[in-house]
Amino acid sequence: MKIYNTQSKRKEEFVPLQPGKVSMYVCGPTVYNFIHIGNARPMIVFDTVRRYMEHKGYEVNFVSNFTDVDDKIIAKAIEEGVSAQEISERYIAECKKDMAGMNVKPATTHPLATQEIGGMIEMIATLIEKGYAYDVDGTVYFRTRKFDEYGKLSHKNLDDLRGGNRSLLVTGEDQKEDPLDFVLWKPKKEGEPSWPSPWSDGRPGWHIECSVMAKKYLGEEIDIHAGGEDLIFPHHENEIAQSECCNGKTFAKYWMHNAFLNIDNRKMSKSLGNFFTVREISEKYDLQVLRFFMLSAHYRSPLNFSAELMESSKNALERIRNAVSNLSYLEQAADRQEMSGTEEAQMDEVRAFGVKFDEAMDDDFNTADAIAAVFELVKYANSSVTAANSKAFIEAVRGEITGLCDILGIIAQEKEELLDEEIEKLIEERQAARKAKDFARADAIRGELLEKGITLLDTREGVKWKRA
């Protein structure tokens, strides 16, 4: 499997630090409003990377934070006359709803910056001790020029940066030793959330949050660190400086960055006001369409949002779903149960689409080509599978389509909601089958119910059921 590493600027073979395991950190959103569909791009893209890694058999420890202390959160809290915590809690809850709608799996851990202040103070203290940071009147700065490798991720030259930044000096910043130094800890202003520290009552800088949360939940060395490309500089460059100077180890092995989601060829962003929230899109479309749209382009290519592209994504997704529901229908109509020898041979052809899918994904997660492989399989199913095939064969073709879609987080077959009385009826049928010692039928009913999210519990008082 090859991954494009922003740091080396080339595709590299993926070799995990520990065999069979992947540790992955994705910078999450600052929670002061509903997320927009630009923010949704890294969520969908890196969830797909995670799912593919899991498909390959890796155990993935996936950590993604919420930045829940920030100027924008404080500004919003003041505007509404509520606490900053109320704002961040509200929008974390809303963000999680949007993630569920987009079928983005919850992270193994979603740490909150405000819950990790102790670790941040510890890391800052170590950096001061090692001479990489200094305190001026309660503000702690990172001594950027002391880290020789600064600029290695963004390929920026320190001297150019220094020259360029001097003119940007603003009042209050002249206490820094160097214009390139950045803040690790800042004293509170009136009315802001704050925590006690050896330097001042205050709050952490943004960059230190991620260094600390990655270390706590994944360790000092991680496999993959990811985020949108606007984070390469200064955020990720600064994370490297902090983590590597503190821990004395290479922070992340692979740096992955998604390109922007644009609108009229400009970055979609809150500050430009040219955004749609995920919630707005969900009023018009199934969010699966949004996911499909995002994956129809390579994650490192800019993607322009348009109504036409959303419509064509909607149609494309429908084509897959129609093929799947047609296969379900054929499966019921087919007379023959077992695969014939010819069908078994045909399965090689079917599996070849999956091999093609994996080849595309192995090449730096080329989801566009992976989707093309799914469509070839759909075309094959539409033209070659009929009710004259066996149930087993039809089911295998359907399973191949839904399985590949599932790796992309695309739901190709909606789980049908069963009504209570339908469930009861199936349970009765299962009881009758058991009485008649037709255990195969009884098991099949249990399986059918399970597929639809219904679990059966055989108790002394009879069979009970519950929805997942």
If one asks whether residue 269 binds ligand AMP (CB under 6 A), the answer comes out as: yes
Q: What is the rounded distance in angstroms from the CA atom of residue 406 to the CA atom of residue 400?
A: 10
For the bound state, the minimum distance from the C-beta of residue 184 to ligand AMP, rounded and expressed in Å, comes to 19
Q: Write out the binding residues for ligand AMP, residues 30-89 only, by CB under 6 A.
A: 30, 38-39, 41-42
Q: Which is nearer to ligand AMP, 260 or 357 (CB)?
A: 260
For the bound state, the minimum distance from the C-beta of residue 127 to ligand AMP, rounded and expressed in Å, comes to 23
In DSSP notation, 39-58 reads: HHHHHHHHHHHHHHHHHTT-
Q: What is the rounded distance in angstroms from the CA atom of residue 197 to the CA atom of residue 167?
A: 32
Beta strand 59-64 with 21-26 is parallel
Considering only 268, 287, 294, 397, the residue that binds ligand AMP (CB under 6 A) is 268
CB 246 within 8 A of CB 127: yes
Q: Which does 30 bind (CB under 5 to 8 A by kind): ligand AMP, Zn ion, none?
A: ligand AMP
Per-residue burial over 103-138, b = 16 or more CB atoms within 10 Å of its CB, e = otherwise: bbeebbebbbbbebbebbbebbbebbeeebbbbeee
Q: What is the CB neighbour count within 10 angstroms for residue 163?
A: 11
Q: What is the rounded distance in angstroms from the CA atom of residue 55 to the CA atom of residue 63?
A: 18
Q: Write out the binding residues for ligand AMP, residues 235-264 only, by CB under 6 A.
A: 258, 260-261
Q: Which does 405 bind (CB under 5 to 8 A by kind): Zn ion, ligand AMP, none?
A: none
Considering only 29, 151, 202, 234, the residue that binds ligand AMP (CB under 6 A) is 29
CB 343 within 8 A of CB 351: no
CA distances from 224 to 9, 26, 53, 241 (A): 15, 8, 12, 16
The footprint of ligand AMP on this chain (CB under 6 A) covers a number of residues equal to 17
If one asks whether residue 234 binds ligand AMP (CB under 6 A), the answer comes out as: no
For the bound state, the minimum distance from the C-beta of residue 286 to ligand AMP, rounded and expressed in Å, comes to 21
Q: Which is nearer to Zn ion, 128 or 210 (CB)?
A: 210
Q: What is the largest CA-CA distance in the chain?
A: 87
Q: Which does 42 bind (CB under 5 to 8 A by kind): Zn ion, ligand AMP, none?
A: ligand AMP
In DSSP notation, 416-457 reads: PPPPHHHHHHHHHHHHHHHHTT-HHHHHHHHHHHHHTTEEEE
Q: Write out the binding residues for ligand AMP, residues 343-372 only, by CB under 6 A.
A: none
Q: What is the rounded distance in angstroms from the CA atom of residue 339 to the CA atom of residue 331?
A: 12
Q: Which is nearer to ligand AMP, 230 or 344 (CB)?
A: 230
Q: Write out the binding residues for ligand AMP, residues 109-168 only, by CB under 6 A.
A: none
Q: Which is nearer to Zn ion, 156 or 336 (CB)?
A: 156
If one asks whether residue 207 binds ligand AMP (CB under 6 A), the answer comes out as: no
Q: Which does 50 bind (CB under 5 to 8 A by kind): Zn ion, ligand AMP, none?
A: none
Residue nearest to ligand AMP (CB): 228
DSSP 235: I
Burial class (CB in 10 A: 0-12, 13-18, 19+), 88: buried
Using alpha carbons, select from 409, 468, 435, 306 the residue that is nearest to residue 49. 409
Q: Write out the binding residues for ligand AMP, residues 211-230 only, by CB under 6 A.
A: 227-228, 230
If one asks whether residue 389 binds ligand AMP (CB under 6 A), the answer comes out as: no
Q: Which is nearer to Zn ion, 235 or 391 (CB)?
A: 235
For the bound state, the minimum distance from the C-beta of residue 204 to Zn ion, rounded and expressed in Å, comes to 12
If one asks whether residue 231 binds ligand AMP (CB under 6 A), the answer comes out as: yes
Q: Which does 230 bind (CB under 5 to 8 A by kind): Zn ion, ligand AMP, none?
A: ligand AMP
Q: What is the rounded distance in angstroms from the CA atom of residue 248 to the CA atom of residue 197?
A: 24
Q: Which does 409 bind (CB under 5 to 8 A by kind): Zn ion, ligand AMP, none?
A: none
Q: What is the rounded distance in angstroms from the CA atom of residue 340 to the CA atom of residue 218?
A: 49
Residue ranges in contact with ligand AMP by CB under 6 A: 27, 29-30, 38-39, 41-42, 227-228, 230-231, 258, 260-261, 267-269
